[in-house]
Amino acid sequence: MTAAGDRGPVTATDEPGPAARLLRRGLLGLAALSVLAIAFELAAERHWNNAVQLIPWAVLVVLVGAIGLATSSRPGLIMAARVLAGLALAASAFGIYEHVADNYQVGELDAVYSDSWAHRSVADRVYLAFTKTVGAAPPIAPGALGQAGLLVLLATVGHSRRAAR
């Protein structure tokens, strides 16, 4: 099946067009920009006081590796980029959990909610912790690591199949 003005049927061996290459580079550029922004935020917050706070720094290194591997056209390296991006997504989920759990634990000490904390439902307490109504740990911050990982994954969609055939 061909479209008007197309050069013929599209096959799995065709190289990606200029729009696909531009989109791929754009997604990887956004991932790299995200890594830089997250590194700046972590440094500004002095996020290195214990071993758990070093995890996002390690994830940034993993993401830099994933971005570098995703620029390759070799299927094995594309798969490695996907694995690393998946690890970043998993670490992001762990970070979100850690931040919500930290906020949840200090909820009973909050000046506004301390009197009613024990009488609130678990769902309400989790909501207050997730929205940072109680506690100081921002749950959205580790989500940015996941976003960078997702950008790398999206940049590799369909790429290895094209290169493998």
Q: Count CA within 13 A, CB hemisphere, residue 16.
A: 18
Distance CA 101, CA 26 (A): 35
Quote the mean pLDDT of the chain: 89
Which residue blocks in 6-110 are alpha helix, DSSP H?
18-44, 51-70, 75-106
The domain limits of the chain are 18-162
Residue 155 banded pLDDT, cuts 50, 70, 90? very high
pLDDT reported for residue 164: 47
* H/E element, 117: none
- Which residues, including other chains, have CB under 8 Å from residue 7's CB and lie 6 or more apart? none
Nearest to 97 by CA among 137, 61, 59, 66: 137
Nearest to 31 by CA among 74, 78, 77, 65: 65
Over the stretch 108-117, which tens digit does the pLDDT of each residue have? 999 999 899 9
